[in-house]
Structure 1
Amino acid sequence: MFKHWSKCSSTCVRSCRSGNSSRHFDGGVALIEAMVALLIMAVGMLALAGLHGKLRRGADLSKQRGEAIRLAQREMESLRTYSLLAHPDPANPAAGVLAYTDIETQAPNTNAGDPNSNAVFSLSRVITPWAENQSAQTAVRIRVDWVDRANSAQFVLIDSIISRADPGLSTALTLAPTALTVQGPAGREASIPVSAHDLGNGNSVFVPTRQDTVAWVFNNLSGVIIGKCTVAMGTLATGLSKEDVAACSNNTFGYLLSGFVRFSLTTPPDSSAPGSPAQALDAGLVPSASTPSHECYDDSAEVIASAGTVISYHCAVYPNNSLPRVWSARLNLSGLPLADGDPNQRRICRYSADYDGNGSISNAEHPADYVNVSTALTRQNFLVIKASESCPAGHAVNPAAGYFSNTATVLHQP
């Protein structure tokens, strides 16, 4: 009996020892698995932290690059805002006035950015004459440098060309060429007189003067005179309706020829600021075998009565019936005593110059004789001076000197 118990006990002991060993082995494996998982997670977190740092640096660098480009663009555009070609007195330039000649290479501005920015920007510009046209164009390079968060040097460059264009000519972009049928004041073709009354049906009516009994009907789109009406003396254009001129619309075809006559009876005469009192005169095409049918009116009576100095004239010229509808003739002033060399007599000059620089005087630039005119002509201006004086040479456009119009004149009638 004792022996049997011993055998049993031995068996039980072996069974107990075998069970404990299995449990210890399973616990070790679980610990290793946990450590491996923790290691993988740690590596992932390190990678995520590195990625986060790179994303932050990338966003920071993008912000800095955008600010650098903004600084470079602002500098480039500020150079384009010059208002003079050169300072009248280079030794004492006006404060706050930028001239084209001020566009020069500049030493770096080491604190060009916003003081609240997270980087310090250095801006520099290099100016070189443009190789293809050194006198009229300048090559500009703007560079902005900075150091980013990672202590790496960064920079942006902007290159452009700035042309030497007279700022005074910028307003010319708002003036439509008279040869084009474009809309001007009141949404009409630019040659139609401003005082013409819009009838609301695509036409306008114009009365040259109160002393005459004629009214012209203009097509708003083309500027062509399409009607000639008879009205009571003293009638104003604003007092006429489309019903008033319905019967006389579309009864003719004509082009407007208009301008101003000024007087400078000083010695020497001044074409820039003529201010002598006006004198009675008449405007009309010189009679010849080929002179087109026309009629001209001026407001000299009203101007003289009010002691004015500027007379306006308006002519309706009716071209031939062939295509294209054109006319050729010379416009002269009459009614003034003209005699060469006599100070009590007069000489007539015309404002005329090669305004567009094409080497010739076109019809719109007031030649001595008009040839094949096929559109309205406005601003055909004259200057009356003493017969003993010469027509003033005037000056070209020069905003730096305060000249915003070309006042050159040439002799028209001795």
Structure 2
Amino acid sequence: MTRPLPQNDSMRRMPLPEIGKTLARLRPSTAQTLHRSGVTLIEALICLVVMSLGVLALMGLQTNLRYNADVARQRAEASRIASQELEKARAFASISGTDSWDAISTRTVSSYELPDNRQNTTYTLVRTVTTPSDGTPRKVITVTVSWADRTAAVPAAGQAQAQNQSIQLQALVAGIDPTLSGQLAVSQISPPSSQRSGRHAAIPSEAKDLGDGRSAFKPFNQGTSVWVFNNTTGTVSSLCSGITTDQAAITTSTVENCQSISGRLVSGSVHFTNVAEPGLSEARDPGQLSRGVRILSADSPLRIASDSGVNVSGNPQCASNSPTSRAGVPAAVRLNDAYLPIQYFCLVVLTDGSSGWGGKLDLVPGNYTGETAEDWTNSGTGSNAYKVCRYTRYTTTNPDFVANIDHPLTYCRTSYAANSTICTNKVTQSLTEQNYLLVKASSTCPTGDSIYNTRQHQPAPQ
């Protein structure tokens, strides 16, 4: 045991030899000195290992941060490339021709370069275009942009650089002519903007809302029939007869004893022209055309063809604003020797209310009272022979059998083939914009583009 060091005063009083002996006794042993040096070295080594691991972790973190930042930048560029490709597809100026909707097709760009070539990888763009099988004018566009990041593997055969990153964007591009702002073909009878709040768009805007979820409609406020619509579905739930009250005065009590039916509305307009060969303007929007003929019979402008009616109770109950005499034509129109388009509404009553209906709607020839020279027919080639065209969406695969809303030749049939007479596509909802155009029998039904066209309706094409 080491003796304590003497106090200062004692040290000053001690002789020098004694001081030396005392210091010698206080010096630690060699073993003690070696033991203390070994512990310090191990602690230093442990600290060095811990610091090395921390530095390695920081280096790995920095590498991952750089990689993630690089991939994020590349993904942002790829998203911009894909978005720009979709916008190019949407920016067509016409339906057909150069830079048109028809021209939108599948394409591949194997080496897409950014502006000023500011990129650290190579992008590959693939645009895939598919068309739905139902014939509707729309295209599904899928754009895939792929590239290689820093971890890309060895390129595959024929590939300049391995690609292990990709993004994909998809959009639906409708074939609607930009110059027409989405209008089908002719002036609307009951445009959506004219519909009252809370009512189905097929219900005529003139119909009176009864305030109980129903609307009463007396076509052109004429006759004694009233059709009662369901505001939610747009179907006709009741048919009233013997109603002499004006439509504006009809109340719920007026229609409480009406016949319950399951009915569907078909409405549209009829235009006509005597132009020798109608063209694009007539196909798109005929408006008020040149001198025409008496279009519809006043009492029944349309009928269901007897050989193709499916689930229909008799002929439809129809009404139009077609004048019954020349005196009924507005004076301004008579001065121009032209007629305004005729509007019509038809109620198709179903024999089986649980399903829809099918059949071919044909125009019925009529004449002015006392002006038999104005009679017309849809057969022959005489001066009073006319051809009925219908406005419809165009499809190159099966142009006469489009969707019901797009005005097919015959509702619910899918082709002329004998084995297709079974109704597989019944009309279940009320239809609007089922529009017609009368042209001379020697003329051809005018065509516009892949969206706005007419097709021959009467006589039925063979």
Q: Is the 8 A contact 1:86 1:101 kept in 2?
A: no
Amino acid at match of 1:382: Y
Match of 1:179 in 2: none
Q: CA deviation at 1:216?
A: 1.2
Match of 1:405 in 2: 452
Q: CA deviation at 1:351?
A: 1.0
What SS does structure 2 have at the residue aligned with 1:121?
coil
Distance change (3 Å), C-alpha of 1:413 and 1:262? farther
Amino acid at match of 2:53: A
What SS does structure 2 have at the residue aligned with 1:55?
helix
For 1:293 and 1:107, the matched residues in 2 are separated by 64
Q: Is the 8 A contact 1:144 1:155 kept in 2?
A: yes
Amino acid at match of 1:391: T
Match of 2:166 in 1: 158
Q: Is the 8 A contact 1:350 1:412 kept in 2?
A: no
Match of 2:376 in 1: 338
The worse-fitting range, judged by mean Cα deviation, of 209-218 and 363-372 is: 363-372
Distance change (3 Å), C-alpha of 1:110 and 1:266? closer
For 1:129 and 1:329, the matched residues in 2 are separated by 38
What SS does structure 2 have at the residue aligned with 1:384?
strand
Q: CA deviation at 1:128?
A: 8.8
Q: Is the 8 A contact 2:107 2:127 kept in 1?
A: no
The worse-fitting range, judged by mean Cα deviation, of 223-232 and 360-369 is: 360-369
Q: Is the 8 A contact 1:85 1:166 kept in 2?
A: no
Q: CA deviation at 1:292?
A: 0.5
Deviations 1:172-230, CA, capped at 9 Å, x for gaps: xx99xxxxxxxx97555554335444444332222321344433111234433122345
Higher strand proportion, which one? 1
For 1:61 and 1:269, the matched residues in 2 are separated by 65
For 2:360 and 2:94, the matched residues in 1 are separated by 43
Amino acid at match of 1:39: L
Match of 1:215 in 2: 226
Amino acid at match of 1:168: G
Q: CA deviation at 1:99?
A: 6.1
Aligned runs of 1:48-127 on 2, under 5 Å? 48-81=54-87, 82-83=89-90, 84=92, 100=104, 103-105=107-109, 107-109=111-113, 120-127=119-126
Q: CA deviation at 1:328?
A: 5.3
Q: Do structure 1's residue 391 and structure 2's residue 397 form an aligned pair?
A: no
Q: Do structure 1's residue 276 and structure 2's residue 289 form an aligned pair?
A: yes
Distance change (3 Å), C-alpha of 1:380 and 1:111? closer
Q: 1:285 aligns with which of 288, 296, 303?
A: 303
Aligned runs of 1:153-192 on 2, under 5 Å? 156-158=164-166, 167-168=174-175, 186=197, 188-189=199-200, 191-192=202-203
Aligned runs of 1:6-17 on 2, under 5 Å? none
Amino acid at match of 2:390: Y
Percent pairwise identity: 17
How many residues align? The count is 364
What SS does structure 2 have at the residue aligned with 1:80?
helix
Q: CA deviation at 1:54?
A: 1.3
What SS does structure 1 have at the residue aligned with 2:260?
coil
Distance change (3 Å), C-alpha of 1:300 and 1:405? same
Q: 1:381 aligns with which of 401, 411, 435?
A: 435
Deviations 1:359-383, CA, capped at 9 Å, x for gaps: 7637933436988766444433221
Match of 1:255 in 2: 264
Q: 1:35 aligns with which of 37, 41, 57?
A: 41
Q: Is the 8 A contact 2:148 2:165 kept in 1?
A: no
Distance change (3 Å), C-alpha of 1:293 and 1:86? closer
Q: CA deviation at 1:145?
A: 5.0
Q: CA deviation at 1:251?
A: 3.4
| TM-score, normalised by the number of residues in structure 1 | 0.66
Distance change (3 Å), C-alpha of 1:33 and 1:287? closer
Q: Is the 8 A contact 1:292 1:327 kept in 2?
A: no
Q: Is the 8 A contact 1:217 1:227 kept in 2?
A: yes
> Which of 1 and 2 has higher RCO (CA within 8 Å, sep 6+)?
2
Amino acid at match of 2:434: Q
Amino acid at match of 2:362: L
Distance change (3 Å), C-alpha of 1:126 and 1:369? closer
Amino acid at match of 2:447: G
Q: Is the 8 A contact 2:409 2:457 kept in 1?
A: no
Structure 2 portions without partners, runs of 5+: 1-17, 130-138, 152-160, 184-191, 334-338, 368-374, 414-422
Q: 1:142 aligns with which of 145, 152, 173?
A: 145
Q: Is the 8 A contact 2:303 2:363 kept in 1?
A: yes
Amino acid at match of 2:104: Y
Amino acid at match of 2:175: G
For 2:351 and 2:434, the matched residues in 1 are separated by 22
Q: CA deviation at 1:244?
A: 4.9
| TM-score, normalised by the number of residues in structure 2 | 0.61
Distance change (3 Å), C-alpha of 1:28 and 1:146? same
Q: Is the 8 A contact 1:147 1:154 kept in 2?
A: no
Distance change (3 Å), C-alpha of 1:64 and 1:191? same
What SS does structure 2 have at the residue aligned with 1:228?
strand
Q: CA deviation at 1:55?
A: 1.1
Structure 1 portions without partners, runs of 5+: 1-11, 131-135, 176-183, 398-403
